[in-house]
Amino acid sequence: MKKEDLLKAVGGADDRFIAEAAPKKINFKNRAPRYPMRLMTAAACLCIVAAVFFGYWLISPARLQKISLGTVGFSGEGAGAHTPVVRDISEYTTGNPWSAEMKLKRLPVYKNTQSLSYDELLSTVRKTAEKSGAQIKSVTQENLPECEWVVSENSLYAVRAETDIGTVSAYVTGDVNIVFYEPVAGEGTGREAAEYFLGKYSAVTGFKDPVLCVIRYFDTNGEERSEYRCYDNASAALKRVENYNFESVYFDINENDELESIRISSVDGAKKLGDYPAISLGEAEKLLLDGKYISGSADGIKDGRVTREKIKKTELVYSTDAMDSCFVPYYRFYVELDRSPVPGLKCYGEFDVPAIKGEYISE
């Protein structure tokens, strides 16, 4: 059947529709070839694959250097340095945001380079003074004699500014202190006073969602003491752990609920070495029971051997002592000691086990 006969059979069709239905001629001479676009797409894919591979190569365990561990330092912030005395460990609340349910697979490690320069410390001092409403009167530089743990240029240790309200100090490790000439009066007592100062000096902390931690314990004379620490909350579990350990602010409040000083902890003077594979809490406990720990309290238990029933509390912490070559994560086990300096109270030793795999720890 011819085309004309078919059209007659279906009742005819408009010539316009016939023209639109006709196959169109393609001018291949003027048409842009497709292969450059295909090549560009392939090249882009290769770049993405290469970037992913290179990024994995950078954080691959084979690329992570071995680290050396610090010991108990003079600042009392090193591994295994404290021995809290309380009625019961349930009363010793540090506010640590870590929990065993987090199951963190990797943890960052930092090298304590103490690399902040004089200009950087001076800038920090000026900014801190401004945020606290202080006027700088004079600035001095403090150096220390060359020793093993001071690695900054010219043994620079700190830059200090005398102001109209107190001394502002910035250290090569990144920490900052404000020591008031006269204690600052607050409102309320205990936690209420701490909350007042947290609000009053919010510009100094810079926290968007501050979390206040109140740590209570007894000193060797049986007097109850309190420490006030705050950190910036975060939605991500690892970020909360980092903020708590590296960016906390401490308020030194005396028995009259007056503020004597503010200490801002920081690792600005440190270099991140990488995210290291972490061991589980169970693995850390096994190492603890095998006697592989860091502690200043080993003489407080029989033969220096920890038993499972003596373990009363566990946290994940970082050692941030100025003498540490690296800032390393530890599982901290609070172990009930056989003796206490205060009759009727219990004393707990801190027994720390590195939270990263042993293959990355140098002897």
Q: What pLDDT score was predicted for residue 145?
A: 65
- What does the pLDDT read at residue 33? 45
Asked whether the beta carbons of 329 and 314 are under 8 A apart, the reply is no
> Taking the model in full, what pTM does it have?
0.79
pLDDT at 44: 56
Residues in the chain: 363
Q: What is the residue type of 181?
A: Y
Residue 84 has pLDDT above 80, yes or no: yes
Lowest mean pLDDT among 60-64, 102-106, 135-139: 60-64
37-48 residue pLDDT tens? 555 555 555 555
Highest mean pLDDT among 24-33, 109-118, 202-211: 202-211
Mean of pLDDT values over 9-13: 42
User: Bridge partners of 230?
Assistant: 212, 249
The dihedral region occupied by 64, where left means phi > 0, alpha psi between -120 and 50, and beta the remainder, is beta
HSE (CB half, 13 Å, CA atoms) of 187?
A: 6
